[in-house]
Amino acid sequence: MRFRSLAIAILACVSVAACTYDDGPDPNWRFVKMEMDAPQGNRVVVCHAYGCKMKTPYRFTASDIAEITGTMRKVKRNDSPAEERRAIAYAIGLMERQVGAAIGIKDKAGMQWSASGDPTQEDCIDESTNTTSFLMVLQSNGLLHYHTVQGPLGEDNMLYGTMIGKPVKYWPHYTAIVKEIKTGQRWAVDSWIGDNGENPAITKLEDWYLKGAS
């Protein structure tokens, strides 16, 4: 039965060319699937070495949280959902630097073909999982007022990529997600595109990666 379900899913993907993998509104589901502890307060488990091959615990200290809070307050120009997203981007960049300095992550942007197993590097599975964890820390500290954290989402279009001769661009790619409470708009929070500690790109989900696939 499991094989039959998988075969049906594959055929469905091929028939529409593109696939979306949505963990849904509960961010904890990602951690169940990855067989790892979900964030508890300020404690997270950091994925690295590609595909979450390594899982390293980290606890954001009171000093870390104070720095994150101060950064978010400083960069917000007004009290609005758009400015909260701006503050989220700065906070995630800072949290990556805090974590990276403690456990030695020096991730380079994008895909590094020789990096699998390298504890200093992260792929989009690692990045989307970690960003989800960091967003949950922001939420648990009362720093999100206009958004809630959802599970990560992935997209691919392998058939289209093969047809046009550029399969890498259309391989599966994952991102963390926040949902704007008032409008229901979902936003991709994608840290994979920059080096460790750079602000993630935050875009409307329908405009992220394979535009219109979500």
Q: 166 vs 157, which has greater pLDDT?
A: 157
Can you name the residues that pair with 76 across neighbouring β-strands?
none
Tell me if 134 is assigned to some domain. Answer: yes
Position 157 confidence tier, pLDDT thresholds 50, 70, 90 = low
Tell me if 213 is assigned to some domain. Answer: no
Take residue 27 and report the two structure tokens written for it. 């961010």
Q: What is the mean pLDDT of residues 98-109?
A: 96
Take residue 13 and report the two structure tokens written for it. 């993907």
- Residue 82's domain comprises 2-207
Q: Where do runs of H (alpha helix) occur along the chain? A: 2-16, 28-33, 62-75, 81-103, 124-140, 158-164
Q: Are strands 19-22 and 43-48 parallel, antiparallel or unpaired?
A: unpaired
Looking at residue 214, its pLDDT comes to 52
How many C-alpha atoms does 31 have within 13 Å on its Cβ side? 18
Looking at residue 8, its pLDDT comes to 32
Q: 101 vs 15, which has greater pLDDT?
A: 101
Query: What total of structural domains would you count in the chain?
Result: 1
Tell me if 166 is assigned to some domain. Answer: yes
Tell me if 153 is assigned to some domain. Answer: yes
Lowest-pLDDT range, 2-6, 53-57, 58-62, 79-83?
A: 2-6
pTM: 0.86
On the question of pLDDT at 165 being above 90, the answer is: no
Q: What is the mean pLDDT of residues 3-29?
A: 61
On the question of pLDDT at 94 being above 80, the answer is: yes
**What whole-number percentage of the chain has pLDDT above 70?**
84
Tell me if 198 is assigned to some domain. Answer: yes
Tell me if 214 is assigned to some domain. Answer: no
